[in-house]
Amino acid sequence: MALDQASRASLAAWLAAADHIDTVLDLSPRAWRVPGDRTILGVFEKGKPRATWLIVAERSVWTLAACDGGWVSEPRETLAEILALIHLRSAP
C-alpha cells in the first residue's frame, strides 16, 4: 500500500517539525511472513540504531507500535492521528 497524497503531506510536515526524529523508512518491502498488503514504516529517533516506533497501515486503518515496551495503539483512521500519538508519547 503506497501512501496517499494526504498521508505523504502529513508525514512531510510532521518530519519537518519533529526535531527528535532522524528518519522514517518504508519497511514494507521486507519479508514479514504475514499475508496481505500493508504499509510498515519504521520511525527512527536521533542517536538510536533501531526503530523506536513501527507504523502499520492495512485497509485504511493505522496502528502504532512501540518497539521498546510493547505498547500498541488503538486503530486510527489517518496517519496524522498516529503521528500525533508519537508526539504525545515522546513528550518529556
Three-state DSSP state, 7: helix
Three-state DSSP state, 27: coil
pTM equals: 0.86
Tell me the backbone φ, ψ of residue 44, rounded to 5 degrees: -110, 125
The sign of the torsion formed by the CA atoms of 13, 73, 76, 57 equals: positive
> Which has the higher per-residue pLDDT, 65 or 35?
65
Length of the chain: 92
pLDDT digits (tens, 9 = 90+) for 7-23: 999 999 999 998 889 99
pLDDT digits (tens, 9 = 90+) for 48-77: 999 999 999 988 899 999 998 889 999 999
